[in-house]
Structure formats: C-alpha cells, structure tokens
C-alpha cells in the first residue's frame, strides 16, 4: 500500500457481525489499496453507536468528532448500506445526517470528493431503489457519485468463508466502485 496515496474512507455495514454489507465494503476498499490508495473503515458497529443526530445545542460527542474528522481527511468516500424496505438503513441515514456538522467547513459535506455507493439487499427492487436514494443524497451533499454504483442481491449467501464474492460479477462491481473513487481522487490530486 502506498503510504502517501489518496485516503479513501469506507462508511458502512450493519450492527450484525460479519454483515454482507461490511464484507462488500471491504472488497471495494481492497481494490483501493491494490491501486495505491490508503483506506480507513468506519464500520457498522461504530456507526450504530453514533447518537441520533440532533442539530440543537450541545455539540458533537467523541464518536461524532471521529466521524467528522475522518470525512474531513478523506480524498474520497465509499458509502455502503443494506437496502431496508426500499431505502438505506437508519444507521446510514443517521451517519449522513451527522455530516450536517460539516456545513460551515471550507469543504462542506462531500464537496470535491467522489463518493462510491455499495448496496446489499434481499431482492433487486430494494437494491435499485436504495442505490437511487443514496446517490440522490450524495448529490444533495455536494458529492460526485461515481459513474458506477454496486447493487448486490444478497439473498443466497453472496460471500465465501474468506470474504470473497461467490459470484464474479459481484466482485467486479465492488472492485469497480473502489477503483473509480480512487481514480477520481488521484485526478483531483494531479497524480
């Protein structure tokens, strides 16, 4: 791994240990590392521990500060969420809502960064609608969704024991998302 390559932040997973969403995100991040990028993961367990975002007084807590600093430092981001009832999970929505704390930054929200999307869902309908919803949120947060977003139908146990994809097409999707986020980050940095 290149120690001075672009930093790509992975946000996602579920509260369930070894979730398919977090496994999918790990594959996308491995593609970033294979391309010379650095990675950081804030997974489902961490994200689920964030308090419900409240824009009122009181300031961010320690975990919210970790999230905010990680986004500030990132050259690109990969958001991974399960598709629940046709949209993103509550944990991911709360994570994205918490980024409202970046509104007054010199580079607010996702400004100037490519954001890749990974969705796992039990069925194609939820995968498609969730992908569309997350890409719309990224636009609203001034990010640039990568041209390709990965949508996996995770109904039949999509992963091998070692965390790799059973279906090569799923592996290709996840790798493509990681590669596109890294490619944009390198272009932005003039590398």
- How high is the pLDDT of residue 94? 97
Where b means 16+ CB within 10 Å and e means fewer, 154-182 reads: beeebbeeeeebeeeebbebbbbbbbbbb
Q: Which residues pair with 87 in a beta bridge?
A: 84
pLDDT band at 100 (very low <50, low <70, confident <90, very high): very high
Instruction: Classify strands 7-12 and 150-153 as parallel, antiparallel or unpaired.
Output: unpaired
Which of the pair, 25 or 162, is modelled with greater confidence? 25
- Within its chain, how far is the Cα of 43 from the centroid? 9
Residue 1 scores a pLDDT above 50: no
Give per-residue pLDDT as tens, 58-84: 889 999 999 999 999 999 999 999 999
Structure tokens at 109: 């929200």
Percent of all residues in the chain with a pLDDT value above 90, rounded to a whole number = 77
- How high is the pLDDT of residue 160? 85
Q: What Rg do the C-alpha atoms of the chain give, in angstroms?
A: 15
pLDDT band at 155 (very low <50, low <70, confident <90, very high): low
Q: Looking at the chain, how many residues does it have?
A: 191
- How high is the pLDDT of residue 158? 81
Q: Mean of the pLDDT values across residues 127-156? A: 92
| CATH architecture label of 7-189 | 3-Layer(aba) Sandwich (3.40)
Average pLDDT, the chain: 93
Residue 2 scores a pLDDT above 60: no
Structure tokens at 160: 């091998």
DSSP structure class, residue 58? T
């Amino acid at each position: 791994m290149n120690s001075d390559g672009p930093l790509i932040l992975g946000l996602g997973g579920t509260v369930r240990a070894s979730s398919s969403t977090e496994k999918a995100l790990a594959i996308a991040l491995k593609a970033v590392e294979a391309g010379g990028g650095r990675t950081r993961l804030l997974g489902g367990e961490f994200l689920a521990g964030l308090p419900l975002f409240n824009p009122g007084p009181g300031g961010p807590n320690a975990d919210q500060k970790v999230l905010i600093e990680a986004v500030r430092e990132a050259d690109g981001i990969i958001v991974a969420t399960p598709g629940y009832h046709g949209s993103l999970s509550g944990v991911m929505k709360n994570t994205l809502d918490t980024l409202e704390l970046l509104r007054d930054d010199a580079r607010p929200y996702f400004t100037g960064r490519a954001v890749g999307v990974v969705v796992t869902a039990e069925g194609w309908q939820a995968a498609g609608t969730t992908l569309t919803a997350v890409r719309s949120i990224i636009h609203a947060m001034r990010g640039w969704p990568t041209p390709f977003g990965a949508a996996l139908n995770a109904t039949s146990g999509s992963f091998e024991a070692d965390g790799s994809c059973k279906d090569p097409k799923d592996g290709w999707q996840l790798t493509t998302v990681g590669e596109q986020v890294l490619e944009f980050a390198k272009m932005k940095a003039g590398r």
